[in-house]
Amino acid sequence: GAGVSQTPSNKVTEKGKYVELRCDPISGHTALYWYRQSLGQGPEFLIYFQGTGAADDSGLPNDRFFAVRPEGSVSTLKIQRTERGDSAVYLCASSLGGNEKLFFGSGTQLSVL
Amino acid sequence: AQSVTQLDSQVPVFEEAPVELRCNYSSSVSVYLFWYVQYPNQGLQLLLKYLSGSTLVKGINGFEAEFNKSQTSFHLRKPSVHISDTAEYFCAVKGQGGSEKLVFGKGTKLTVNP
C-alpha cells in the first residue's frame, strides 16, 4: 500500500475485555514499531520488530500487552484484560531500518469504558 | 537511557514571524536527533534529522535545526512561518549503537495566527 495502515481507526471496549490492533506496514519495510500516545503527551515507545522478531520490547508496560509479527509484515498488538488507563492512541510505524525515517500510520484510538 | 524535554508546550506566533521550538535531551551515549511534525488529522512525519557532520541541519518546508552538543540541545527554527505550519512538533532522540528505540518529547503545539 501507499502508507502504513492501522485498523480499526477507533475501538471502544469495556474494562476487562481483550482487544487486537492491527498494523500493515509499507511493503518491504523490515522495521516495525508500536507507540502509545496519550492526550497531551508524545508517543511512548512500546515495542520494535526487526523482521519477525521483537528486537526491543522494553516499552511494554506489563504482561497484559503482547505483540506479534509472524511473517515479518503485518503486526498485531494484543491487550488482555483492558483497563481504563489503556485508553490512548496506538501508533504503528515502519521503516527500512537503521536511521531511515519512520513512516507512521494514523493510529487506532482505543477507548476503554 | 535517553530522554527529551520540550520546554514549551504551546507557541503562538503571527504569520511571517520567526519561530524557535526548543528541545533538550539527556543521554549517556552519543545520539541521533530528529524532529517530527503532526499536522491536524494526519500521522507524524519526519521534518529533519541529525546523524553526523554539520551541526546545522535543513529539513522540509524551510525548517532547520542546530545540534549543540555542549548544551545538549537541538532547537528547531524557521525564519518566517505560514498558517500551514500550524501543527504539533515532536523532538526525538535515539542512542547510538544500541536499541532502535526512538524516544519522543511531549511535543510543542505551534499555532500560526494571521
Residue among A72, A83, A31, A84 at smallest CA distance from B99: A31
Q: How confident is the model at residue B41 (pLDDT cuts 50, 70, 90)?
A: confident
What length is written for chain B?
114
- Please state, in angstroms and rounded to a whole number, the distance separating the CA atoms of residues B109 and A48: 27
Residue B114 above 90 pLDDT? Answer: yes
Average pLDDT, chain A: 94
CA proximity to A90, closest of A27, A4, A28: A4
Q: At CB < 8 Å, which residues of chain A contact B?
A: 3-4, 31, 33, 35, 40-45, 48, 50, 55-56, 58-59, 91, 93, 97, 99, 101-107
pLDDT of residue A97: 83
Closest CA to B113 of B7, B36, B10: B10
Tell if the CB–CB gap between A50 and B105 is shorter than 8 Å: no
Task: Quote the minimal CA–CA distance from B34 to chain A in Å.
Answer: 9
Residue A97: strand, helix, or coil:
coil
Q: Average pLDDT for residues A70-90, to the nearest whole number?
A: 96
Stretch B63-85: mean pLDDT? 96
Q: What is the DSSP string of B16-62?
A: T--EEE--EEE-SS-EEEEEEEE-TTS--EEEEEE-SS-SEEE-GGG
Cell readout for A22 is 492491527
Residue A4 has pLDDT above 60, yes or no: yes
Mean pLDDT of B25-47: 92
Whether residue A33 has pLDDT greater than 90 = yes
Out of A6-10, B77-81, B88-92, B95-99, least confident range? B95-99
Residue B99 has pLDDT above 80, yes or no: no
* Cβ contact A52:A68 at 8 Å: no
Q: Looking at residues B52-77, what average pLDDT do you find?
A: 95
pLDDT value of position A1: 52
Q: Where residue B100 falls among pLDDT bands split at 50, 70, 90?
A: confident
Within a 10 A sphere around the Cβ of B106, how many other Cβ atoms? 16
* Confidence (pLDDT) at B93: 95
Whether the Cβ atoms of residue B67 and residue B53 lie closer than 8 Å to each other: no
Interval A98-111: pLDDT, tens: 778 899 999 999 99
Please give the residue that has the higher pLDDT: either B92 or A1. B92
In chain B, residues with a C-beta closer than 8 Å to the C-beta of A103 are 43, 45
Q: What is the predicted pLDDT for the residue at A98?
A: 78
Looking at the partner chain, which of A93, A99, A104 has a beta carbon nearest the beta carbon of B32? A99
Condensed to tens digits (0 to 9), the pLDDT of residues B15-31 reads: 999 999 999 999 989 99
| Cα torsion angle, B68, B72, B74, B77, sign | negative
Residue with cell 528541545: B23
Kindly state the percentage of chain B with pLDDT values over 70: 100
Average pLDDT over residues A50-77: 94
What's the average model confidence in pLDDT over B76-80? 98
Instruction: Give the model's pLDDT for residue B14.
Output: 97
Q: pLDDT at position A62, please?
A: 94
